């Protein structure tokens, strides 16, 4: 069953079409990969879903309800949380306070927010770093903190924007495990942008490929890996010659 529908979404910046007529849907409890070369419009897609940008045409709906046009905080309240490609921790707050700030979405009480935050930090393996100022965290843990903050809002869908970029192989394996557990233990649907082919091919149920703002392919990792249009977008025309 699909819980989120992207219907004919276009987004223009002046004369530049960042997204043109993109449609796809997200099924409940799946991991959908969103890939494409640099500048394909992946992050713009996230910004449209999460409410930073209104689509120029088309719409996004969550459980049949139109969400495009809502502000990001309202979209988040409806159950869509996101992480940022360039990590944006609340620098002069501790790791725990960062996650508590998100956890207040469901409660007004400090003790409750702290309990939620501690549980999420345990889940993402950041529990031991809870009192560290987030600006002094190494990159790998900052990526984890992004996920922890998103989880603390109890989302139905989580949008992960390059949560693996810049991580070393060990960190990547830990992160893959966390992403898998987000779905298996918490039942959260995941839409993930990733450049790391090994990662995206192994964790996604389905993959949507964007190129120059248009959707050029959609299918299982196996289908995508052998799709000529995708190979051309990534490797250039010469490959076919």
Among residues 82 and 215, whose Cβ is nearest to other proteins?
A: 82
Q: Under rule CB under 8 A, which residues in 38-97 are in contact with other proteins? A: 50-52, 71-74, 76-77, 81-82, 84, 88-93, 97
What minimum distance in Å lies between the beta carbon of 141 and other proteins?
16
Contacts of 101 (CB under 8 A, 6+ apart): 90, 93, 149
Phi, psi of 221 (to 5 degrees): -55, -40
Residue 153, interface with other proteins (CB under 8 A)? yes
Residue 102, interface with other proteins (CB under 8 A)? yes
What minimum distance in Å lies between the beta carbon of 10 and other proteins?
22
Do the bridges between strand 157-161 and strand 80-82 make them parallel or antiparallel, or are there none, so unpaired? Answer: parallel
Residue 165's CB: how many other CB atoms inside 10 A?
17
What minimum distance in Å lies between the beta carbon of 93 and other proteins?
6
Count, residues in the chain: 241
Among residues 89 and 213, whose Cβ is nearest to other proteins?
A: 89
Q: With beta carbons less than 8 A apart as the criterion, state whether 30 and 77 touch.
A: no
Among residues 102 and 189, whose Cβ is nearest to other proteins?
A: 102
Provide DSSP, 125-151.
T-GGGTTSBGGGS-HHHHHHHHHHHHH
Point out which span in 3-11, 103-111, 119-127, 166-174 binds other proteins (CB under 8 A): 103-111
């Amino acid at each position: 069953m699909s819980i989120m529908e992207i219907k004919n979404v276009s987004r223009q910046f002046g004369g530049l079409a960042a997204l043109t007529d993109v449609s796809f849907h997200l099924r409940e409890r799946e991991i959908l990969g969103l890939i494409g070369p640099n500048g394909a419009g992946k992050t713009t897609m996230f910004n449209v879903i999460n409410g930073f940008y209104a689509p120029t045409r088309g719409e996004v709906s969550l459980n049949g309800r139109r969400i495009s046009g809502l502000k990001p905080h309202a979209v988040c309240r409806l159950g869509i949380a996101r992480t940022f490609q360039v990590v944006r921790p609340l620098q002069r707050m501790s790791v725990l306070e960062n996650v508590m700030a998100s956890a207040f979405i469901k409660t007004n009480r400090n003790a409750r927010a702290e309990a939620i935050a501690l549980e999420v930090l345990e889940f993402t393996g950041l529990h031991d770093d809870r009192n560290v100022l987030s600006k002094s965290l190494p990159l790998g843990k900052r990526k984890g903190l992004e996920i922890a903050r998103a989880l603390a809002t109890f989302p139905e869908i989580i949008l992960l924007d390059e949560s693996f970029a810049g991580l070393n192989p060990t960190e990547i394996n830990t992160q893959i495990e966390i992403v898998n557990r987000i779905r298996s233990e918490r039942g959260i649907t995941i839409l993930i942008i990733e450049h790391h082919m090994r990662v995206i091919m192994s964790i996604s149920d389905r993959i949507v490929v964007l190129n120059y703002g248009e959707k050029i392919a959609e299918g299982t990792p196996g289908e995508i890996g052998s799709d000529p249009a995708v190979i051309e977008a990534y490797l250039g025309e010469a490959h076919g010659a």
